[in-house]
Chain A
Amino acid sequence: MKFLKFGIFLALVAANITACSSDSDGPEETDDAFDRGAMLANWADNIIVPAYTSFNSKVVEMEAATSSFTATPTVENLQALRAVWKEAYVSFQNVSMFEIGKAEEVRFRNRLNVYPTNVSQIEDFIATGNYDFALPSTIDKQGFPALDYMLNGLAETDAEIVVFYTSNPNAESYKTYLTTLSQTIKGLSNEVLSSWTGGYRDAFVANTSSSASGAVDKLTNDYIFYFEKALRAGKVGIPAGIFSNGTLPQNVEAFYKKDISKELLLEAINASVNFFNGKNFNGNSNGASFKTYLDYLNTIKNGENLSALINNQFTVAKNKANELNANFVEQIETDNSKMLATYDELQRIVVLLKVDMIQALDVTIDYVDADGD
């Protein structure tokens, strides 16, 4: 009898040890109704990698256009470069939220899109030729916002801008700075894309563990963080003066180009909606996603139809954003209440994502002991 008891005890201890060590081991395949591995595969293969591939091709074009312009700085070449810069900037809105893996390591979003850009220090860098874009202190002197200044903000007219790259005594330094900006973006983009295609994809898809370091939990946190901080606050809230006494029109995205701030916002909202619904980047089919995951969990829970509520609110926010002026600086200066109204609708999405979706998915925020009360 005693041996039996002791045997049971040992078996339980052994079961415990195997269960605990599974925190680090590769989890075994489960065939329950919702397959997180399939969701990660859909994210990686149909959304993330295609989005980075598309972005990377735009960035390559942008770098080529930069070379042409610096070789022959004409108004036509400036306009050509500006056009691909804009396309690349719009395309960036589709990858900005995936701050995971290599992108997280190189702080991709911070390297590419910190605004307002620091004009006086950019001029300083150009004058001295002394800068290293790898330093964290230089994030507001590089990326798309710095290019915005270099292509749109140096002077009023295109002819006057071109002068900076031709007859200006510092013309060579301006050209070098412009080239370095373009090349840095291309280098970073290439680094992140080749990491995804070179093995990170498999590691990402295999990391189905349910913990703060699992790919689902991590990307969910990244996605919500992006939506709350970069999209809701960065593109709308901060310039509209939500976080300050008075409005901050100079903090609008693409401040010098002016008329694309709305386009960038709408692209970012669309990218967020599409990711939520698992929509193929290069097509119209939908795969496993937050939406299908929430729907699956709701078959267990029988609560409110959360995915529908979130999608509805996305639509409401998009409609509000559509009412805005193409140029947010003008919008803020003429009628800021519309910016505030857009912010409010985006804010409602944040609540749904950060409170309701996080609770439904039971996503871990951090590794600490907590008894959930």
Chain B
Amino acid sequence: MFTAIQKYFQKNTQAAPLAVFRVLFGFMMFLGIVRFWANGWIEKLYIQPKFFFSYYGFEWVKPIGNYTYIIFAICGIAALFVALGYKYRVAIIVFYLSFTYIELMDKTTYLNHYYFISCVAFLMIFLPANVYFSVDAYKNPRKAFQMVPKWTIDSIKLILGIVYFYAGLAKLNSDWLFNAMPLKIWLPSKYDLPFLGDLMQQPWVHYTFSWSGALYDLAIPFLLLYRRTRWFAFALVIIFHVMTRVLFPIGMFPYIMIVSTLIFFDTGFHRKVIRFISKLLRIDYSKMVALSQTKKYRFKRNIALPILAVFFVIQLLFPWRYLAYPNELFWTEEGYRFSWRVMLMEKAGYAQFKIKNTETGEQFLVDNTDFLTPFQEKQMSTQPDFILEYAHFLGEHFEAQGHENVAVYAESYVALNGRLSQPYVNPNVDLMKQRESFRRKNWILPFNDTIKGL
């Protein structure tokens, strides 16, 4: 057993798939940043709001006014350098840090897809993705190699497999499978799609989408791994992600996933891709290849493997942390994020905050639009950690204004997956007295229903 493992880590393979992955990933990230910028979202999401929601422990990560544009510029340039394979190690570290910083600035914009990109970028710091078909390799033939350890490519397959498989596991619940929720809410509103608009109204379509979505997520990593099913699987990947692109506002992610799954294809395919890119950019392909030594790339210090081993153990275990909380996950969202729960539920909410002077009993309600953007208010009203952080912000804001003995109460309602709205947080609990922590939030009112499954 041990020797088998040792043997596996000795195995080498062609570097081409890793190089193609680097080029496409860097290029997609660059496009993603340009798109974000062009949509005016930097201004809208990171400069205009007066208040930003922080992740627990990362309260120090904030937008820096107009300089926030510089972070995006750095991130975009780093992505381009990654694509070119120019000063790769520095570029990928800078990309990872700047991209992660951007995502940590305001959790209102949390998307699993952004987390996915941070994970892949972290992984890529430790991979020799620049030894082939890169500026680094071109400029310094001693850094050019044709072979890399097999596990480096497999590690990317593994992270992709985890994303899909866990997203599939998360769908194994009664709302998704037996009530076709939330697709029953989402799909009918796509009435204006050409050809598909009418179909989107049909319950059998909602169930078909629910079940096939779950099956797709669970099966696709395995279908991609086996040579015989690979092309079929790739066709499924395209159909699935094109559908999600058409139906849901998830931006670049479908394209990133389609491109990422190319890593499963063998070297011959990637050579063709490299030849194609070379032709497009008029690079002398044969010269590029001739430069690479037939030698194998070797890791100088042996830190990459242990770090990545820890990384993957965390990846495998972290999504299960919700089991440590007693209440319904979808209702309390304790342990919901960073677990590949993608497009999984529909929540709408309303939260009204009351500032009370505990001595005199004087009280008044807060107009949320004074402090939050519509998008922030929407996200805040359904997620307890947002409600708590905002309550503290309000309390401190009004204390600074000279109010005394400030207590903050929230009257809130949430509707989950088409159920009728019901009270969400305990309106009699002074939220100023509650602290954010990993402990369960006992001020969230009970869900009064059960969702069975994982």
Q: Is the beta-carbon distance between A362 and B185 smaller than 8 angstroms?
A: yes
The residue of chain A having its C-beta at the shortest distance from the C-beta of B255 within the complex is: A16
Q: Is the beta-carbon distance between A360 and B193 smaller than 8 angstroms?
A: no
Taken residue by residue from 274 to 315, chain A's Cβ proximity to chain B (1 for < 8 Å, 0 otherwise) reads as 000000000000000000000001001101101001000000
- With a cutoff of 8 Å between Cβ atoms, the chain B residues found around residue A245 in the complex are 357, 362-364
Q: Is the beta-carbon distance between A36 and B239 smaller than 8 angstroms?
A: no
Q: Is the beta-carbon distance between B364 and A243 smaller than 8 angstroms?
A: yes
- With a cutoff of 8 Å between Cβ atoms, the chain A residues found around residue B239 in the complex are 12
- With a cutoff of 8 Å between Cβ atoms, the chain A residues found around residue B418 in the complex are 301, 303, 359-360
A209 lies within 8 A of chain B by Cβ: yes
A372 touches which of B182, B362, B365 (Cβ 8 Å): B182
Tell me the bound Cα distance from A363 to B191 in angstroms.
12
Q: Is the beta-carbon distance between B191 and A246 smaller than 8 angstroms?
A: no
Q: Is the beta-carbon distance between A300 and B194 smaller than 8 angstroms?
A: no
A242 lies within 8 A of chain B by Cβ: yes
The residue of chain A having its C-beta at the shortest distance from the C-beta of B417 within the complex is: A359
A195 lies within 8 A of chain B by Cβ: no
B310 lies within 8 A of chain A by Cβ: no
Tell me the bound Cα distance from A354 to B188 in angstroms.
19
Q: Is the beta-carbon distance between A20 and B345 smaller than 8 angstroms?
A: no
The residue of chain B having its C-beta at the shortest distance from the C-beta of A210 within the complex is: B192
A152 lies within 8 A of chain B by Cβ: no
B201 lies within 8 A of chain A by Cβ: yes
- With a cutoff of 8 Å between Cβ atoms, the chain A residues found around residue B5 in the complex are none
B375 touches which of A15, A304, A365 (Cβ 8 Å): A365
B250 lies within 8 A of chain A by Cβ: yes
Q: Is the beta-carbon distance between A356 and B420 smaller than 8 angstroms?
A: yes
Q: Is the beta-carbon distance between B186 and A372 smaller than 8 angstroms?
A: yes
- With a cutoff of 8 Å between Cβ atoms, the chain B residues found around residue A303 in the complex are 418-420
The residue of chain A having its C-beta at the shortest distance from the C-beta of B197 within the complex is: A30
Tell me the bound Cα distance from A18 to B39 in angstroms.
21
Q: Contacts A32-B197, A243-B364, A243-B365 hold; do A368 and B189 have CB atoms under 8 A apart?
A: no
A361 lies within 8 A of chain B by Cβ: yes
The residue of chain A having its C-beta at the shortest distance from the C-beta of B345 within the complex is: A373
The residue of chain B having its C-beta at the shortest distance from the C-beta of A27 within the complex is: B192
Q: Is the beta-carbon distance between B375 and A366 smaller than 8 angstroms?
A: yes
In the complex, chain B residues 316-340 whose Cβ is within 8 Å of any chain A Cβ: 336
In the complex, chain B residues 391-436 whose Cβ is within 8 Å of any chain A Cβ: 413-415, 418-421
A22 lies within 8 A of chain B by Cβ: yes
B159 lies within 8 A of chain A by Cβ: no
Q: Is the beta-carbon distance between B198 and A30 smaller than 8 angstroms?
A: yes
B268 lies within 8 A of chain A by Cβ: no
B47 lies within 8 A of chain A by Cβ: no
Residue count of chain B within 8 Å CB distance of chain A: 68
Within the complex, the shortest CB–CB distance from B46 to chain A, in Å, comes to 12
Q: Is the beta-carbon distance between B242 and A16 smaller than 8 angstroms?
A: yes
- With a cutoff of 8 Å between Cβ atoms, the chain A residues found around residue B186 in the complex are 362, 372
- With a cutoff of 8 Å between Cβ atoms, the chain A residues found around residue B364 in the complex are 241-245
The residue of chain B having its C-beta at the shortest distance from the C-beta of A348 within the complex is: B413
Among the listed stretches B107-115, B147-155, B437-445, which one makes contact with chain A, having 4 or more residues with CB under 8 Å of it?
B107-115
- With a cutoff of 8 Å between Cβ atoms, the chain B residues found around residue A208 in the complex are 191-192
Q: Is the beta-carbon distance between B374 and A366 smaller than 8 angstroms?
A: yes
B231 lies within 8 A of chain A by Cβ: yes
Taken residue by residue from 242 to 263, chain A's Cβ proximity to chain B (1 for < 8 Å, 0 otherwise) reads as 1111100000000000000000
Q: Is the beta-carbon distance between A246 and B362 smaller than 8 angstroms?
A: yes
Within the complex, the shortest CB–CB distance from B386 to chain A, in Å, comes to 13
The residue of chain A having its C-beta at the shortest distance from the C-beta of B35 within the complex is: A369
- With a cutoff of 8 Å between Cβ atoms, the chain A residues found around residue B420 in the complex are 303-304, 306, 309, 356
A358 lies within 8 A of chain B by Cβ: yes
- With a cutoff of 8 Å between Cβ atoms, the chain B residues found around residue A352 in the complex are 421
B414 touches which of A297, A301, A355, A366 (Cβ 8 Å): A355
Scoring A18, A359, A364 by chain B CB atoms within 10 A of each residue's CB, the highest score goes to: A359
Q: Is the beta-carbon distance between A32 and B345 smaller than 8 angstroms?
A: no
In the complex, chain B residues 356-372 whose Cβ is within 8 Å of any chain A Cβ: 357, 362-367, 369
Within the complex, the shortest CB–CB distance from B144 to chain A, in Å, comes to 31
A354 touches which of B45, B251, B347, B350 (Cβ 8 Å): B350
Q: Contacts A245-B364, A350-B350, A368-B45 hold; do A19 and B190 have CB atoms under 8 A apart?
A: no
B43 lies within 8 A of chain A by Cβ: no
In the complex, chain A residues 320-362 whose Cβ is within 8 Å of any chain B Cβ: 347, 350-352, 354-356, 358-362
B4 lies within 8 A of chain A by Cβ: no
B235 lies within 8 A of chain A by Cβ: yes
- With a cutoff of 8 Å between Cβ atoms, the chain A residues found around residue B200 in the complex are 32
Q: Is the beta-carbon distance between B185 and A30 smaller than 8 angstroms?
A: no
In the complex, chain B residues 93-117 whose Cβ is within 8 Å of any chain A Cβ: 109, 111-113
A301 touches which of B184, B342, B344, B365 (Cβ 8 Å): B184
Q: Contacts A352-B421, A367-B249 hold; do A30 and B375 have CB atoms under 8 A apart?
A: no
Within the complex, the shortest CB–CB distance from A255 to chain B, in Å, comes to 20
- With a cutoff of 8 Å between Cβ atoms, the chain B residues found around residue A368 in the complex are 41, 44-45, 109, 249, 375
Q: Footprint of B on A, CB under 8 Å?
A: 5, 8-9, 12, 15-16, 18-20, 22, 27-28, 30-34, 36, 208-210, 214, 229, 233, 237, 241-246, 297, 300-301, 303-304, 306, 309, 347, 350-352, 354-356, 358-373
Known: A12-B242, A20-B246. 20 other contacts (CB 8 A): A28-B197, A30-B197, A32-B201, A208-B191, A210-B190, A245-B362, A300-B206, A303-B420, A350-B350, A354-B348, A355-B415, A359-B415, A360-B185, A364-B249, A365-B378, A368-B44, A368-B45, A368-B109, A369-B249, A372-B182
Q: Footprint of A on B, CB under 8 Å?
A: 39, 41, 44-45, 109, 111-113, 182, 184-186, 188-194, 197-198, 200-201, 203, 206, 231, 235, 238-239, 242, 245-246, 248-251, 253, 336, 341-350, 352, 357, 362-367, 369, 373-375, 378, 413-415, 418-421
10 contacts between A and B (CB under 8 A): A32-B201, A210-B189, A242-B364, A301-B418, A355-B350, A359-B415, A360-B185, A362-B185, A364-B249, A371-B342
